[in-house]
A and B are shown apart, each in its own frame.
Chain A
Amino acid sequence: MEEENVILSFKGIVTSELLTSVLHIMEAKMDSLQEAPRTRKKVFNVLVECLQNLYHHVDETPLLFSKEVIERKSALVLIVKEQDHFIIRTGNYIDNKKAKDLQEKLNIINSMNKDELREYYQLSLNNAMVSNKGTAGLGLIDIARKSGNKLDFEFLTINEESSFFCLNVKID
């Protein structure tokens, strides 16, 4: 099992404060692991985007927190160090309607080589509109560019309305 290589894992609602703590802990861990600055930066960058995707794309917090609602809004994050690379794994519930668009976007990203991704990023950056939440639709493209690997993902169907979205990012 990969368990012994897990550097950090958590399950819960991703808040701004949690994000700050996770990044803080991760930086300290990377320091103690004495990773090369290049790796450290890539892992940190990808982690920021992954966490902020979870932060922004898990829907608005409802006023009532039933146990079920909390469960649905929770996300999973796992950071694993293998011998020569890192893996950042995230999991979150998603509406099936949104899942379709997300899957299309991921397929487009995975069909591109390094230069195509760069062009796609520049085009998206120049045409991006920042939403009120501060999102610009660039996160996944950036993750793919910085990881240098294809994005490994899966949608597990829960029921007619929702699925569980798993994303695995490998960083060399």
Chain B
Amino acid sequence: MENLHIVASAKTPEVLFDSETGVLLLKGRSIPENSIEFYKPLNDWIDSYASKPSTTTCIDMKLEYFNTSSSKCILDLFKKLEKLDGTTVSVNWYFEEDDEDMEEAGEDYQAIIKLPFKMIEVEEI
């Protein structure tokens, strides 16, 4: 299947979903007024990926900002990953030094989603 690549914009993150390696990347900011539209192709891609996933699937969340409209879409994305069969799924949640809000946001998802989360502090995302 084809990889999914979306170039970042002022309000949306870069997306790079690789079906072969099972590495899914979201990087940048996710602050569109209506996030449903933006997240639809990501959800669709995961639906197709579900039929033939890589042995491991890892989503790298490298977000600088996200709004509450996106927060629900991100949760739905995690819920889709949670349901994948035949692959070991994990989440890498990146946050910048001193960004306790982003760290807490990762912990919020961790509290809701039953996937292993790795919290990774970096100097700059």
Question: B-contacting residues of A (Cβ < 8 Å)?
Answer: 16, 19-20, 23-24, 36-38, 41-42, 44-45, 48-49, 52, 55-56, 118, 121-122, 125-126, 128, 130, 132-136, 138-139, 142, 145-146
B106 to chain A, nearest CB (A): 12
> Is B72 a contact partner of A121 (Cβ separation < 8 A)?
no
> Is B65 a contact partner of A138 (Cβ separation < 8 A)?
no
> Is A126 a contact partner of B112 (Cβ separation < 8 A)?
yes
> Is A37 a contact partner of B71 (Cβ separation < 8 A)?
no
> Is A118 a contact partner of B72 (Cβ separation < 8 A)?
no
Considering only CB atoms, which chain A residue lies closest to B124 in the complex? A37
Q: Find B111's partner among A37, A55, A56, A122 (CB 8 Å cutoff).
A: A122
Task: Pick the most buried of B32, B71, B104, B111: most chain A CB atoms within 10 A of its CB.
Answer: B71
- Rounded to whole angstroms, the CA-CA distance of A42 and B111 in the bound complex is 23
Given contacts A48-B31, A52-B33, A122-B111, whether A134 and B104 have CB atoms under 8 Å apart is no
Considering only CB atoms, which chain B residue lies closest to A130 in the complex? B72
A7 to chain B, nearest CB (A): 19
8 A Cβ contacts from B95-110 to A: 96, 98-102, 104, 108
Q: Find A138's partner among B10, B68, B102, B104 (CB 8 Å cutoff).
A: B68
- Rounded to whole angstroms, the CA-CA distance of A38 and B69 in the bound complex is 22
Return chain A residues, CB-CB under 8 Å to B83: none
> Is A20 a contact partner of B11 (Cβ separation < 8 A)?
yes
> Is A125 a contact partner of B69 (Cβ separation < 8 A)?
no
* Interface assignment of B75: CB less than 8 Å from any CB of chain A: yes
Q: Find A37's partner among B10, B32, B36, B96 (CB 8 Å cutoff).
A: B96
* Interface assignment of B51: CB less than 8 Å from any CB of chain A: no
- Rounded to whole angstroms, the CA-CA distance of A105 and B28 in the bound complex is 31
Given contacts A41-B101, A49-B68, A142-B68, whether A125 and B112 have CB atoms under 8 Å apart is yes
18 contacts between A and B (CB under 8 A): A19-B33, A20-B11, A38-B99, A44-B65, A45-B67, A52-B31, A52-B68, A56-B33, A122-B108, A125-B75, A126-B75, A130-B35, A130-B36, A134-B36, A135-B69, A136-B68, A142-B68, A146-B101
